[in-house]
Chain A
Amino acid sequence: MSLDRSDVERIAHLARLQIDEQDIPTYTENLSSILNLIDQMQQADTAGVEPLANPLDAVQRLRADVVTEPDQREKLQRVAPAVEEGLFLVPKVIE
């Protein structure tokens, strides 16, 4: 499987990654060679094999519906890039 420039641009957009124009060829080449490596997998016969999502096939545990997290806004927002009136600020959201 080999990718072209437009594939890389589309993926970078989906992943919201700015890629410098001059780096696109390298990424295209790297990603293509990684995908070639990955494509070895297609030789394997996996018909009827149940996918393994969790190594121990464990099941979900449930949490009691009890408040355990008090308000810690002040502490949690100390690391925020921009905050005003308790809100995280971002460039205008247009709906």
Chain B
Amino acid sequence: MEWEVVIGLEIHVQLSTTTKIFSGASTAFGAAPNTQACAVDLALPGTLPVFNENALRMAVMFGLAVNAEIGKRSVFERKNYFYPDLPKGYQTTQLAEPIVGPGFVDIETDDGVSRRVRLHHAHLEEDAGKSLHEDFHGMSGIDLNRAGTPLVEIVSEPDMRSSKEAAAYARKIHAIVTTLGICDGNMAEGSMRCDCNVSVRPKGEEKLGTRTELKNINSFRFIERAIDTEVARQIDLIEDGGRVVQETRLYDPDKNETRSMRSKEDANDYRYFPCPDLLPVIIDDSYIEAIRATLPELPDARKARFIEQYALSDYDAGVLSSYRPQADYYEQVVGACQDAKLAANWVMGELAKLLNQNDTDIKVSPVSAEQLGGLLLRIQDNTISGNIAKKVFELMWSNGGTADQIIEAEGLKQVTDSGAIEKIVDEVIANATKQVEQYIAAEPEKRGKMLGFFMGQVMKATGGKANPGAVTGILKQKLDALCS
């Protein structure tokens, strides 16, 4: 039987506010345990929440960026349950009246499928703390630094039909929130976490299959793998005559399997009701329009402009616009060297490679856009070859300095002086009698290919500094002279 996969995502995005959603404690990552958990965050008796204006502004920015209706009246509710990382015994969240109503984003997968994914809504809520399971005499330790960090939970409709689409959707949301500057996008630190609702149904069937929820996936790659694994499990199960149980499952990336979570919510009833300590949040058109006016260029628009303005391929434009710091960097490099294609190749090539290898964000790249632009200028004016440029780039990465400084200090300047090149060519020809004889004996149309050997010898002798164009010309001229 042919199966259709149906996927909806719930993405939690940590907003990059300075303070918590309802208290004046810092949200900075990595502080010592409980040093950023104030009286309100600890839910000390008598403490009360006050709503952070920046969390509201950021949520509205997101809503506008995904073409959504903005809730002019939104209401915080309490979701009641007991858990040690939830100090108040309830999570303050939104349910009936969220800040962001229905919207949509358009996605495209690597293999060219494009789709519009509808958003059901997005709401503001507070994050919980963390339970640390290192063994404290058989006890767990609770760190509440993260408790009260503002989150926007983005709930999609079940509009995705493959794990690739799900990953593309998650990437798009990531691109939007980082472009807006409302989230640092750091998935390893948990700034963006995905829950995937997955079900399968026979192709052509309208009724949705029973879904399972894969919790807390924190990389795009794992989204794909977790969904693929879960889809395979569900199909096997059904084909063996079993039934999918609606439940929460955990993806284990090491074993590449999903497993049922010990139902921590056994028949839970969250007893939602409007939080009486917080009042309805009311905003008007002028507030919304003022925020709209501050929105940066969004990834889709920027991609279109890159194609138009820089004549980039759809793929290159898509990659470069997906992460705002990268897009900004790219445009700075273009500004410095005025060659959009060369800049794209380098930003997506050498730079991306080293950033990746060193697990470094482009925002803190050791090579600045100016430095890279300066390097590309030297390729353009033939001061160095592309190969030498890679060497300069590596030195720049590890030791700093401008391209000109490095070229000068390392003596990497390209040899374009034809007298000097001729002298080396003569030496190479004199030392390669066998290859010269073969060259002369070869059919004239096959000689071009044989130039490579001589080229290599010349480059070896010059340490790669000879201008390749000049070398080719001189070699051909001298060898062809021997043939006649």
Contact = CB atoms under 8 A, between A and B. Distances in A.
A70 to B, nearest CB: 8
Contact of A86 (B33, B131, B139): B33
Contacts of A82: 139
Nearest to A58: B279
A95 B139 contact: no
Contact of A85 (B19, B33, B55, B282): B33
A88 B26 contact: no
B258 to A, nearest CB: 14
A93 B269 contact: no
A69 interface: yes
A65 to B, nearest CB: 4
A40 B398 CA distance: 79
Interface in B3-35: 17-19, 23-26, 31-35
B52 A93 contact: no
Most buried by A among B139, B143, B269: B139
A64 B278 CA distance: 16
Contacts of A62: 50-53, 56
B19 A88 contact: no
A90 B55 CA distance: 31
Given A60-B51, A86-B33, A92 B281 contact: no
Contacts of A63: 24, 50-53
A89 interface: yes
Interface in B131-172: 131-133, 136, 138-144
Contacts of B32: 73, 86
A59 B282 contact: yes
B136 A67 contact: no
B42 interface: yes
Interface string A44-66: 00000000011000111111111
A68 B50 CA distance: 12
User: Chain A interface mostly helix, strand, loop or mixed?
Assistant: loop
Contacts of A58: 279
A59 B280 contact: yes
Given A58-B279, A59-B282, A69 B33 contact: no
A30 B246 CA distance: 37
Nearest to A63: B50
A18 to B, nearest CB: 13
Interface in B262-320: 262, 264, 268-269, 271, 274, 276, 278-282
A87 B279 contact: no
A58 B280 CA distance: 8
Contacts of A86: 32-35, 143
Nearest to A89: B139
B24 A67 contact: yes
A87 B141 contact: yes
Contact of A66 (B24, B36, B82, B133): B24
A91 B280 contact: no
A8 to B, nearest CB: 15
B279 A91 contact: no
Nearest to B28: A67
6 smallest CB-CB distances across A and B, nearest first, come from A87-B141, A68-B24, A69-B38, A65-B54, A62-B53, A86-B33
Interface of A: 14, 16, 53-54, 58-69, 71-73, 76-77, 82, 84-95
Given A63-B52, A76-B37, A88-B84, 9 more contacts: A14-B268, A59-B279, A60-B51, A66-B24, A73-B37, A76-B42, A86-B33, A90-B142, A91-B138
Interface of B: 17-19, 23-26, 31-40, 42, 44, 50-56, 82, 84-85, 131-133, 136, 138-144, 250, 261-262, 264, 268-269, 271, 274, 276, 278-282
30 contacts: A14-B269, A58-B279, A60-B280, A60-B281, A61-B50, A61-B51, A62-B51, A62-B52, A63-B52, A63-B53, A65-B17, A65-B52, A65-B53, A66-B18, A67-B26, A69-B24, A69-B26, A71-B36, A73-B34, A82-B139, A85-B136, A86-B32, A86-B35, A87-B136, A87-B141, A88-B141, A91-B138, A91-B140, A92-B133, A93-B140
